[in-house]
Each structure stands twice: as structure tokens, then as C-alpha cells.
Amino acid sequence: MSIGAGIALFAIGAILAFAVNVQVEWVNLDMIGYILMGAGAVIFIIGLVLMARRRRSDTVTRTAVDPAAGERITRQSTASTDDAAGL
């Protein structure tokens, strides 16, 4: 969702900065457009970083011999990071 929001903010900012030719006394639309473009780029990059971190997972396989039965036991555990829970 943050990637789409970043793209939307960037597009709205570009429209305000480059396509709108309206002069308003109390606000500078060009500056607001540049600010929205910067915020959109930052949100887009943060979204990419969070998506890359969310896909990590570690798999650990351990093999041992049960002393009582003499059987070989293999245990596998998978741990994945879920960054969405902390947000």
C-alpha cells in the first residue's frame, strides 16, 4: 500500500508543480508540488525496504541421534520476520 501511495503522491506533486498554471496569493502551488513529489519518493523507498525485509526467512535443520532408541531424528524450524505486525 505504501508503494502505491508514494506513486500517487509523486504524481499529484508533479501535476501541481508542472501542469497547473494558476497563481494563488496565499499559497505557492509549485512548492507544494515539489514537497509532495519528495514525500512520494520517500514513501516509495520506505515501502520497497519494508517489502524486502518482510520476505526474509531462515530455515534451520538439525539432525541428532536419540540415545534411547538409537534412531536418527531430524528437526526443521523455519523463522520468518513479519514486519507488518510492528507497524
Q: What tens digit of pLDDT does each residue of 13-43 get?
A: 999 999 998 888 999 999 999 999 999 999 9
Residue 47: inside a domain, yes or no? yes
Residue 87: inside a domain, yes or no? no
Residue 64: inside a domain, yes or no? yes
Residue 74: inside a domain, yes or no? yes
Q: How many domains does the chain have?
A: 1
pLDDT digits (tens, 9 = 90+) for 44-72: 999 999 888 766 667 777 777 777 777 77
Residue 73: inside a domain, yes or no? yes
Residue 86: inside a domain, yes or no? no
Grid cell in block for residue 54: 518482510
Q: Residue 62 is part of which domain span?
A: 2-80
CA distance 8 to 39: 10
pTM > 0.95? no
Residue 14: inside a domain, yes or no? yes
Residue 53: closest CA among 79, 84, 77: 84
Q: What's the half-sphere exposure (Cβ side, CA atoms, 13 Å) at 1?
A: 2
